[in-house]
Structure 1
């Protein structure tokens, strides 16, 4: 199994360290994040995810499509370099690795917590995160979300907006692995069928239940 895996529950995370000149923090970055969570009920976007190992020596780039519907329903469909699917149906989180024909499943409460999916598709920011505005960089306004649970899987998450449009999520996990998830063609409050957030294990797939 590759050490740099997509993020969520049993999977790993997202990020790229980009050099940029720091600019004064925009005070409304946190407000923009709060408005996103309050007003955007559904969303769909293409993404590119870059994962960098703690020593910076290894990088992995993945692409796919992301969809979500509040509360707690989301779908990450990774297409390249290998097919993988992460689906949160509101009660459970399913991770399907097509190459291994293997499915991991765990309860939503145990899988979500202070994760990127909770930040983007959850119901409450303040329950799990401390929020603060960050300096603008890379043409984006950034809000920092620090998990209140200090022994969780993530050290910090930064959310970048271009105006009011969600553009990127940057993460440092508990092992120092850095990731960035860059969104393209973000569509908000679009009609998404319930089928997008349902998962049935393929025939013959090994299903591993996690606590």
Structure 2
């Protein structure tokens, strides 16, 4: 390849990659609420085991979100802005902890939080599988997550890939993402079901 052509290609590639970080920043700045269907695939560190689940995701900034897992087991995770509730329907068990302790550098913080730069170092990655990718690495190195990759199709959030502290990989793929939608206030309220065991964590 001629030096000039190589230089042009290099500059064009750098600009394209930078767009993914810009798109992520715009998503956090401009998208105040949203909802989508999701499919989550969790792969063990050795790649040998996979588990797939699906459900609905909704969020409203700041710090309110709802993951409603429907298959293969019902589970509900609700952030109400002050606390995060996790309801295991089969066990009829509820875990609750303060938002400040639960959020931090997590996927929920990335998708529904107020600021990226407080918790993450951002960098662009090569486009792949029809998506533009941005890498978000938690600044807190001893946290639960090693890294999060966010993939956009144009301006639409398509995929979030998460690698936890044990090397387990989770891939969230979104479908039918709607942005800046009106969501009822009770979407992000949670009341423990009667008879449920409630475990409060610090």
TM class, shorter-length? over 0.9
Partner SS state of residue 203, structure 1:
coil
**Residue equivalent to 2:133:** 142
Pair 1:164-2:155 in alignment: yes
Pair 1:133-2:99 in alignment: no
Pair 1:60-2:59 in alignment: no
Residue 102 of structure 1, CA deviation: 0.2
Residue 138 of structure 1, CA deviation: 1.0
Gaps of 5+ in 2: 1-12
**Residue equivalent to 2:83:** 92
Gaps of 5+ in 1: 1-23
**Residue equivalent to 1:190:** 181
Report the Cα distance in structure 1 between the residues aligned to 2:45 and 2:170, rounded to whole angstroms. 10
TM-score, structure 2 normalization? 0.92
Residue 69 of structure 1, CA deviation: 0.1
Residue 33 of structure 1, CA deviation: 0.1
Residue 27 of structure 1, CA deviation: 1.7
Pair 1:181-2:172 in alignment: yes
Residue 136 of structure 1, CA deviation: 0.6
**Bigger Rg, which one:** 2
**Residue equivalent to 1:4:** none
Residue 57 of structure 1, CA deviation: 1.3
- The C-alpha deviation readout for 1:133-177, integer Å capped at 9, x for no partner, is 001111100000000000000000000000000000001000000
Match for 1:109 among 100, 103, 107? 100
Report the Cα distance in structure 2 between the residues aligned to 1:113 and 1:27, rounded to whole angstroms. 25
